[in-house]
A and B are shown apart, each in its own frame.
Chain A
């Protein structure tokens, strides 16, 4: 590539670096301190800049792009409020291990520390919500910093990295040299697992009578879905997927045993409890899965495969831990285990599925959130991309989305960020222009970030939004109902906008559906429309999500149906 060895401005070096990292799209919003970078962007037509309406939207869009493509998502923001608006998005990406690089403008070097206009110590503020961050004080340091930032973001356990660049550093001239290698003596992401650990894991698997695989986000991050399937099929081991592990094995695969946990399928939670071996593959035993760890899955030994050593024994003690990239470890592990069957155990899980049909929808004439997600899943055949927000609709989507393709489910699992659904879906659509992208939203979360509908319209991104509109914060209502003596407060919206008119105001097609009878036709109409659509699905306000294991409890407290 050209320009190596030439004198370039810091801003040009940023762009040259982005191109060398394979970046072709950036989600950003300019402001004073980052204007020098925007001043040179037009010289780099290979970088597509999508002008978002709010920096949080930019961060979530970069995150959605990253999760759905495996590439690093990039967000630009200016100093001060621009940068602080990124924080929720960075924290979301951090919790779910999504590779994002955020580039922020900073006030000029001479102004730093003097409470200058739009000054925030953003490297200080984002320390706990980034994998790493940098304040670059010389243009000559930009190239290697960018090289490191992308390397750190995408390797090992991925995560967000923020690069803060003062305004005058963008303007400073320096010789541009792209470093081929990174020199990070404190950073060595693991590859293969230690062979003795792999053998110890294989031994436990051979001995197990009721093994299950708990497949987490790590399967999707390391693109190990084929390896997972091969591993599971070879020894006939049922696969339970975490919330973020959905789509690591097709939902209709005979060994797929659902999602466990607080609002997981009852049969999955029961199977996890009855198992004598849990093989956690890129999963971190989140409290929404374990509940009370002292009462969690006491009958089983645990094999924990993770790229991050700090996950081992963090929540649940492992009998065998294998540190490594999941794809590499599965490639090591599968040859070590024998071809096997667990007929009785698989039959037992089939029995649990029959006895505890968590996906049965109660008989009613009303339209429920479950009906909507089930219809979208049926009509799409579980293909395309599914994005959700956080709340009741998210849990119904997790229960009813019958994924047929790997890595086509994207949700804010760790941080639980309402409002993720609009901008993240935008990023997913940018990364997957030929896919049908459905975003299942709640009326609460949708209103947090709906300003990005303008961005979606501007860029003609054909995202299909399904607002499961119960005119309330449904999960809050459920908790107040069950755990706060029905002391309902601040849970209902009495002045929601007309979402159809709202969509139309953005120049987007708006549809409303109020009855089960029109559901399928509405979903089809949305999909047939060549462009973005917002569908206001007016659902019953009375419906809670079940099954439920209350927070901090165990499988004994499983509530399968409303009392």
Chain B
């Protein structure tokens, strides 16, 4: 189930949606520092996911922002200057795997429950909670898929939606030394991509 088939860089506003991943040290204030650099340019952070990384004491953030790619790329370089930020990559133009999870609470009576469960089946989602008048559904995947599912559930009465926003990861390299998203400068992007031992911090 490949979820990176659509065009992640496109949007309807003439601006483009960029996905940026940052590896950060777990220190107080790091989120405010990162968010502050986007706020300074008047960017809206469309989604932001933070969680522990493979290294103890370090977290990985994935955020989606909408903006002029060259400005996003400059902000990414400024992010890399932050002392607590170890590595920043604009992965929009790279070959990435990305996922979003949604929890959806939808009204379900005895009559409609079967139909909803069919939809859940079709979307390869999961039922995570069942009550007398509603059921809770977990759907993981492409935001478009989640959007379609929510649209189809609307007639039944969508009561609550909670979405995580996108998490992304460059695909594993096909060959040794190949592009892994972290050590090469993407030809489409002017982004300064840090080497793992040499960040842009100054």
Bound Cα distance A124, B36 (Å): 10
B199 proximity list for chain A (CB < 8 A): 186-188
- If the complex has contacts A309-B77, A309-B80, A309-B202, are A135 and B32 also in contact, measured as CB distance less than 8 A? no
Closest chain A residue to B70, Cβ basis: A313
**Residue in B36, B85, B197, B198 whose beta carbon sits within 8 Å of that of A127 in the complex:** B36
Closest chain A residue to B55, Cβ basis: A185
Q: Are A124 and B80 in contact (CB under 8 A)?
A: no
Give residues 208-245 of A contacting B (CB, 8 Å). none
How many whole Å from B69's CB to the nearest CB in chain A? 13
Q: Are A189 and B29 in contact (CB under 8 A)?
A: no
Give residues 150-202 of B contacting A (CB, 8 Å). 190, 192, 197-202
Chain B interface size band reads 20 to 34
Give how many A residues have a beta carbon under 8 Å from the other chain's beta carbons: 25
B85 proximity list for chain A (CB < 8 A): 186
- If the complex has contacts A312-B192, A313-B190, are A189 and B28 also in contact, measured as CB distance less than 8 A? no
Indicate whether B52 reaches chain A with its CB closer than 8 angstroms.
Answer: no
Interface string of A115-136 (1 = CB under 8 A from B): 0000000011001100111010
Indicate whether B13 reaches chain A with its CB closer than 8 angstroms.
Answer: no
A123 proximity list for chain B (CB < 8 A): 29
How many whole Å from A241's CB to the nearest CB in chain B? 22
B28 proximity list for chain A (CB < 8 A): 135
- If the complex has contacts A127-B29, A310-B77, are A186 and B201 also in contact, measured as CB distance less than 8 A? yes
Bound Cα distance A187, B78 (Å): 13
B197 proximity list for chain A (CB < 8 A): 188
Interface string of B65-77 (1 = CB under 8 A from A): 0000000001001
How many whole Å from B106's CB to the nearest CB in chain A? 39
B29 proximity list for chain A (CB < 8 A): 123-124, 127, 133, 135
Indicate whether B25 reaches chain A with its CB closer than 8 angstroms.
Answer: yes
Give residues 292-314 of A contacting B (CB, 8 Å). 307-310, 312-314
Q: Are B33 and A309 in contact (CB under 8 A)?
A: no
How many whole Å from A148's CB to the nearest CB in chain B? 8
B25 proximity list for chain A (CB < 8 A): 185-186
Q: Are B32 and A127 in contact (CB under 8 A)?
A: yes
Name which of A132, A310, A313 has the most chain B CB atoms within 10 A of its CB. A310
Closest chain B residue to A185, Cβ basis: B86
Bound Cα distance A190, B78 (Å): 15
Q: Are B32 and A186 in contact (CB under 8 A)?
A: no
Closest chain A residue to B57, Cβ basis: A185
Indicate whether B83 reaches chain A with its CB closer than 8 angstroms.
Answer: yes
Q: Are A156 and B32 in contact (CB under 8 A)?
A: no
**Residue in A131, A132, A310 whose beta carbon sits within 8 Å of that of B200 in the complex:** A310
Interface string of B81-99 (1 = CB under 8 A from A): 1111111000000000000
4 shortest interchain CB distances as A-B pairs: A156-B202, A157-B202, A309-B200, A310-B77
Given contacts A135-B28, A309-B81, 9 further A-B contacts (CB under 8 A): A185-B58, A186-B24, A186-B25, A186-B87, A186-B201, A187-B199, A308-B81, A309-B80, A310-B202
29 contacts between A and B (CB under 8 A): A123-B29, A124-B29, A124-B32, A127-B29, A128-B36, A133-B29, A135-B29, A152-B83, A156-B201, A184-B83, A185-B86, A186-B83, A186-B84, A186-B85, A186-B86, A187-B201, A188-B197, A188-B198, A188-B199, A190-B202, A307-B202, A308-B81, A308-B202, A309-B200, A310-B80, A310-B81, A310-B200, A312-B192, A313-B190
